[in-house]
Chains A and B, each alone.
Chain A
Amino acid sequence: MSHPDSAAPLDAVPRRPMNVRIRNHRGTTVIGGYEHALELSESAAFVWRQIDGVRTLREIGRLMAGEYDIGEESAAHDVAELAAELAAYDLLELG
């Protein structure tokens, strides 16, 4: 389901679509739109929580790097990949 070659631009500002559903149950987080649903890993759920319609992907990557003690460049790349994947499933809007 991942698209390793596709990544969203780091200066894009992600927004959650209005109609997205979110469920936390027994340690798992699932998000669903009108057509698709995905289970988020722990780190993806962390990224999802940081989306506020203001932060860029680069800024979220910085937060992720701090949370998981990894390099900022690597974290930003992971965030951009995740964003592209979620956007492909209509679970994220990129502005």
Chain B
Amino acid sequence: MSHRYTQVLAGLRTADLLPASHECVFVSGSVVRGWGNPTSDLDLHVISAEPWTGGESSHVALDPGTLRHEGAFVDGVRWDVEYWLGGQIEQLLEKVSWKSFEADHAVWKSLSPAEIGMLERLPYAVAVAGADRLHEVRERLRSSAHRSVFVSYALDMADSYTEDAAGQCATGDLHSAVLTARLAFEHAVDALLAGHGQFGSKWPKWRARRWQEANPAVMTFEEFWSLATMRTFDPADPRAWVEQVIAACQKIFMEVDV
């Protein structure tokens, strides 16, 4: 366990947010990645055999189909706690198995936002209890189609927006094409970064950080940043910028392996 999080279990117990028995408790999110700031939440995940009954619920495409969430302030920091059942984690791993992916490359369509979040956070999580369970889950994830699922997800989204941008350009709807090209580029970058194991499509605010971690060869950070911040956009010629961005997307597509 990281020394930074030694007080987490005690904090959960004090706040009555820790189940009597649990398979694993882990910390994830920006704080764990070293990107935290004074306003960052601490994201906690509890995996147990018995369902948590307090807090609020959200939907997942698993059985049972709900997750429970609790929130607390501890020493001035907001803690967001998510409660998963061990069986839900098993179903999630099955969804991203090679068998599932080979049967349907668009398996990502079966993932709810909370499931995507869990799958994107697991690779960087730090256990505060049940480190063996977290290690086992991560090993199974590493040998699964996890990376391919997220690359496909981002590529499919990028394709869809690229096609839309082309159609909008064809009809002269250039304002829409500019916005759509931006979205295509963001998803293309997410595909590239997922290919490098830098997952985080649910958290676009960290895309620059993830780029710097991955340091992909296809273009420099400055080139990526220039496009992301629309530095070359000329209001008098929006089509040129759209074409430049879509060409950059295609350059990325060529270098991404599903």
Check if B256 sits within 8 Å of A24, measured CB to CB. yes
- A3 beta carbon closer than 8 Å to chain B: no
Task: Please list 22 pairs of residues, one from A and one from B, whose beta carbons are closer than 8 Å in the complex, sorted by A's number.
Answer: A16-B250, A17-B166, A18-B242, A18-B243, A18-B246, A19-B166, A20-B250, A21-B159, A21-B253, A22-B250, A22-B253, A23-B253, A23-B258, A24-B254, A24-B255, A24-B256, A24-B257, A24-B258, A25-B257, A48-B254, A49-B254, A52-B247
- A34 beta carbon closer than 8 Å to chain B: yes
- A71 beta carbon closer than 8 Å to chain B: no
- A95 beta carbon closer than 8 Å to chain B: no
- How far is B254's CA from A23's CA once the two chains are assembled, in angstroms? 7
- How far is B254's CA from A52's CA once the two chains are assembled, in angstroms? 12
Contacts of B247 in A (CB 8 A): 16, 52-53
- How far is B40's CA from A67's CA once the two chains are assembled, in angstroms? 50
- Chain A residues 4-40 with CB under 8 Å of chain B are 16-25, 29, 34
A18, A24, A29: the one contacting B169 at CB < 8 Å is A18
Interface contacts beyond A18-B246, A19-B162: sample of 20 additional A-B pairs, CB < 8 Å, sorted by A: A16-B250, A18-B169, A19-B163, A19-B167, A20-B250, A21-B162, A21-B163, A21-B253, A22-B250, A22-B253, A23-B155, A23-B253, A24-B255, A24-B256, A24-B257, A24-B258, A29-B254, A34-B163, A49-B254, A53-B247
Total number of A residues with any Cβ neighbor in B under 8 Å: 16
**A: which residues have CB within 8 A of B?**
16-25, 29, 34, 48-49, 52-53
- B165 beta carbon closer than 8 Å to chain A: yes
- A23: shortest Cβ distance to chain B, in Å? 6
Contacts of B253 in A (CB 8 A): 21-23
8 nearest CB pairs, A to B? A18-B166, A19-B166, A22-B253, A25-B258, A19-B163, A24-B257, A18-B246, A21-B159
- A95: shortest Cβ distance to chain B, in Å? 12
